[in-house]
Amino acid sequence: MRAMKVRTTGQLAVTGVTLTVLLVGSPLAVADAGAQAKLFTGGGRGPTAAVAIESAIGDAEASAGAEQLYTCALVGEPLVFESFNDPNFGHVFRAEATVSCTP
């Protein structure tokens, strides 16, 4: 059984939000009154929290792209989990992010 620790430090949350704003772009780009937005949730992992968040956002955007929805904005804050004893990776971060996407 793997033990996971939830990271809730303020600095990590600020770093994740800053990174995702740079990656996703302005939420105002999504504010098209005629377009119906859909939510997509992605997951990722990496050696740092920032890499895991970037991977999670990319996963969610790839799912949206499969439905030809290419303008995405982050919804809420990404969740970041830290594991110190993963049998395959040792110390690893996992993240979950939700984006709202329109055509």
For 4-14, how does the pLDDT look when each residue is reduced to its tens digit (9 = 90+)? 444 444 445 44
User: Does pTM top 0.75 for this prediction?
Assistant: no
Tokens, residue 94: 């996992």
Compute the mean pLDDT over every residue in the chain, rounded to the nearest whole number.
Answer: 79
Identify the band that residue 26 occupies on the pLDDT scale cut at 50, 70 and 90.
very low
Identify the band that residue 46 occupies on the pLDDT scale cut at 50, 70 and 90.
very high
